[in-house]
Amino acid sequence: MQILDGQALDSSPAMNRDPFLVIDNVSKVYPTPNGPYTVLDGIDLTVYEGEFICVIGHSGCGKSTLLNMVAGFNKPTTGEVRLQTKRITQPGPDRMMVFQNYALLPWMSAFENVYLGVDEVYPDKPRAEKVKIVREHLAMVGLTEAADKKPGQLSGGMKQRVAIARALAIRPEVLILDEPFGALDAITKEELQEELLQIWRDHRCTVMMITHDIDEALFLADRLVMMTNGPSAQIGEVLEIPFPRPRDRAQLLESPEYYSLRNYALDFLYSRFALAH
């Protein structure tokens, strides 16, 4: 097991060693009626191209705030986030976000929800090409048959598949996932985790994903970023997940190293940074 702190990230498993996504000394202070509230304080993280990063930490520590700054929906109070040396100041098609609550337009079919994003980013492509992109991505998440259904006619897992297809159809460099499987039952969640890994391998994108589920993080991530509690949350530790890919869930569960990493992460969350009650 290799434990790294938030600064020393020299042993990342990613192949390309050039910094790709850099969170550089980022702090975030929200104004509140009771005065300034420092959510994040001095976050440093270097992500390499093609890495799969999971972020874990107690509720309210600032995980969504951090990922929203990567997405460009929110701005750091101090410090900056850079993608390939370019400072992120607003949302862009190079970074797509998937939320826990799917965020689909309820009056549009699955096809139309995905088409909308493709059309917005590639307005000049011929319609036939855009339709092809949408169909390919719906097929990739196993939704060809459900293309004409509206979100209200889809299960939670299917809705999240549409949201993932919508994000990936515009070929982002970074896929940002804010607890995407948190509302799904255990079996659907495992299916979607497998699909996500397959898609990540095929698309070769970089992933940052918030989860509350340590087993999910150990199955998916190259590195697990563990945040301390807020206010003024920081990156407490970055845990490298050394299991070879493709990962087999049953095999992982037989590995003693799996349990030592799991216990380490649990200890971080529930002993060292337990929430006061």
Ligand X SMILES: Nc1ncnc2c1ncn2[C@@H]1O[C@H](COP(=O)(O)OP(=O)(O)OP(=O)(O)O)[C@@H](O)[C@H]1O
CA–CA separation, 272 vs 175, rounded Å?
30
Closer to ligand X by Cβ: residue 64 or 193: 64
Q: Which of these segments, 54-62, 156-164, 166-174, 242-250, binds ligand X (CB under 6 A)? A: 54-62
Closer to ligand X by Cβ: residue 57 or 172: 57
The footprint of ligand X on this chain (CB under 6 A) covers a number of residues equal to 13
With H, G, I as helix, E, B as strand and everything else as coil, classify residue 21.
strand
Closer to ligand X by Cβ: residue 169 or 176: 176
Closer to ligand X by Cβ: residue 59 or 271: 59
Q: Considering the rule CB under 6 A, would residue 32 count as an interface residue with ligand X?
A: yes
Closer to ligand X by Cβ: residue 60 or 92: 60
> What's the distance, CA 102 to chain centroid?
14
Cα-Cα-Cα-Cα dihedral sign, residues 215, 217, 223, 228: negative
Q: Considering the rule CB under 6 A, would residue 85 count as an interface residue with ligand X?
A: no
In the complex, minimum distance from the CB of residue 233 to ligand X, in angstroms, rounded to a whole number: 8
- The vertex-207 CA angle with 262 and 240, nearest 5°, equals 35
In the complex, minimum distance from the CB of residue 85 to ligand X, in angstroms, rounded to a whole number: 26
CA–CA separation, 151 vs 71, rounded Å?
24
Strands 223-227 and 235-240: antiparallel
Q: Considering the rule CB under 6 A, would residue 142 count as an interface residue with ligand X?
A: no
* Binds ligand X by CB under 6 A, chosen from 14, 43, 61, 134: 61
Q: Considering the rule CB under 6 A, would residue 39 count as an interface residue with ligand X?
A: yes
Residue 65 exposed, middle or buried by CB count within 10 Å (0-12, 13-18, 19+): buried
* Binds ligand X by CB under 6 A, chosen from 13, 19, 42, 60: 60
User: For 140, what's the count of Cα atoms within 13 Å in the CB-facing half-sphere?
Assistant: 25
- Could you list the residues that contact ligand X (CB under 6 A)? 30, 32, 37, 39, 57, 59-65, 230
